[in-house]
Structure 1
Amino acid sequence: MRLPFISSPFLHFSNCKGEIKLTSFSIIPDTSLDVKDPTLSGLLREEENRQRTKLPLIPSENYVSRAVREATGSVLTNKYSEGYIGKRYYEGQQWIDQVEQLAVDRAKAVFGVEHANVQPYSGSPANLAIYAAFLKPGDTVMGMALPMGGHLTHGWHVSVTGGWFRSVQYGVSKESGRIDLDEVRELAKKERPKLIFCGGTAVPREIDFSAFADIAREVDAILVADIAHIAGLIAGGVHQSPVGHAPIVSTTTHKTLRGPRGAMLMSTKEYAQSLDKAVFPGLQGGPHNHTTAAIAVCLHEAAQPEFKLYAQQVVQNAKALAEELLDRGYNLISGGTDNHLILIDLTSKDILGKRAAKALDQAGIVTNYNTIPYDPRKPFNPSGLRIGTPAVTSRGMGKEEMRLLAQYIDEAIQAAKRESEMELTRIAQAVANLAEQFPAPGL
């Protein structure tokens, strides 16, 4: 028996006693998240409210624009696209190729690079692709030690990059809290690494890419600049660029760049093919096309004149906040900041970083506890606190608000030492009032 065509996603054909019957069912209910999963929807509303009412001072966090959020949640999440532009293993790529090409072209224009790969899922896989492209297990890599401000993927021992490769680590001067480039040079000449990483996750001072390039040339190493934290500052022209010094540049696309949770690898043409092969098929399958689209959007935003003003204000705010904290007797690693990030040594304040961070969160100021150089304490309960200004700058705050934030930070830490819940509650209300005056963008 031939059945007439019935255009409905809610019909199911079944055979019962030799007869064909139709029973209704739903393939994918076209309902909102509130209806489909009210539990998760409620959690998202709570998180949105937290983001509205609290002030994030975590230097790796930021707000994305509504346009970036729309791209991240677009229909591109439905499409598989293994391969690269014009060379895919799936059909139906007419629009995907154009989206990825847009992101690539914009990355090349914003950062002035010869090649860009926008497919890495995040910063750590992007860095691992560099190892896969140029090293064999056991080869030597040199990077900044994690407790000194480096990143896990720069060869630290708890990362696979420290387990699969021979890692040597440089640090900072005990006296100045800054990188001693003479010591870096001596270590490189002694150990002869094949890769040298510069950049990090808790580095409050400008990175001298030119000096690192000189060292890499002396020992015939490939220099990699990890600009994950400062990509937006470079795009905005307030931090020197590694382009022309480091042939390979790795970055995430959120943090100061204000994009989605993704990453990019950029390089000279010489290293392009090796990096592309390491990303796919070396480490990944299909790229996350919705993330690629959002990267394209954030790069478009980063090319606008107002983004330069934003980047300038990020640095000005960080310097102002640092000065206010110094005036209140706080010890800052390296004595201050050149960028968006401040690393506080709380030893003289007689409070540990973890306790301070939790008290500040209760007071409406979100930070993260962090190790400091030569920290005698373990990473899960260290002596330091890491703060930064990208997100509060995105909310439109300026120097006067930095003065208030320093005041609230100090008051909350003192309240934590006195175990005064009432005082922390008072500060939280003051912070919420300040947050209301500067609405979070994109929400």
Structure 2
Amino acid sequence: MRESTNKPHPLTSSAEGGQSVSQPPAILTDIASKAGISFNGAHPWDIQVLDDSIYKRILTNGSLGFGESYMDGLWECDQLDELFTRILRSDIEEELGFIAKLKLGLEVIRQNLFNRQSEKRAYEVGERHYDIGNDIFEAMLDPTMNYSCAYWANADTLEQAQLDKLDLICRKLELKPGETVLDIGCGWGGFARFAAEHYSVNVHGITISKEQKKLAEERCKDLPITIELQDYRKLEGTFDKIVSIGMFEHVGPKNYPTYFDTALRLLKDDGLFLLHTIGKFNTTPHVDPWINKYIFPNGKVPSALQMTQALDDRFNIEDWHNFGPDYDCTLLAWWQNFNQAWPELSEKYDQRFYRMWKYYIHCSAGFFRSKQGQLWQLVLSKKGRHGTYRSVR
């Protein structure tokens, strides 16, 4: 995705005023070349260095230093999404220097020893990401306020792709008028509102974001919908159907058994549970430090192995649908909306925030385009459910 003509200028640049930029260390040149990337090269995905300190920051802090140096305006790239696609396809981060590897090792130990998604930490991602400002998300998302992958099979616009996604979920759940639906991680109420209006169901949604709750209640007023600020572990009652869209990434492997046991307890015997989540093509013990620090603290994308191990002896997998490439399209549509809205948003948010958000959206697009990232919709049932489930596409 190429830069728009109204992009902000870098925050700092030692290249301005005629100063020269030195050659990168050979180790970085060699690693980048394996992904077809050059420093100060001619391709739109090449890294244009504006300050020599970027090299030390990459060598000592790996992906965290790479992301922070972009936020600080030390380098530019015309096609960030393609840059990250190439980086992720080649796994070059694993070849960084000793210090970066040591820090990665410490992060692995931290992830394994501590429950980063404990009940005590449950609201941290809401406070640090989802509560940053509803104006950001209202500007970036479509009118349904869906902050998860859209379904582009028959859609030409972001709004239609999100509406198609919501309808697909409702059909997969076999919703019937009057049923009770639990929405775990309801966001701004996009699914709840759609399901109540189009399928005449009653929805109970929970979120860990105060700002989401506030706006969701406004958007869902006069409908049979309740929204609560609550951690999933505190839920009580029984429901005909359960849905969770884009929330499982915040659960964490140590809590998968608790999460699925909770859903098992809440779901009626003949019910269905649809889980919509980002997935990773392999199992890794660590998370990206930049994403963890600036975007989704304590998050962890599951692998298929982790999912099936947690589901074993709990739920039947009735259907497993992967449409990961659609997230690439969704992210680029979000970026277009955000970038167009930036002149107004810039009155409240600074240049560093712009670059942070740009980096986040484009590295995420590269994650899915490289096939490192997947998007899964699983339809789950209890072992006692009668009849044959027919997959919906």
Q: Taking structure 1 as the reference length, what is the TM-score of the superposition?
A: 0.27
Q: Taking structure 2 as the reference length, what is the TM-score of the superposition?
A: 0.29
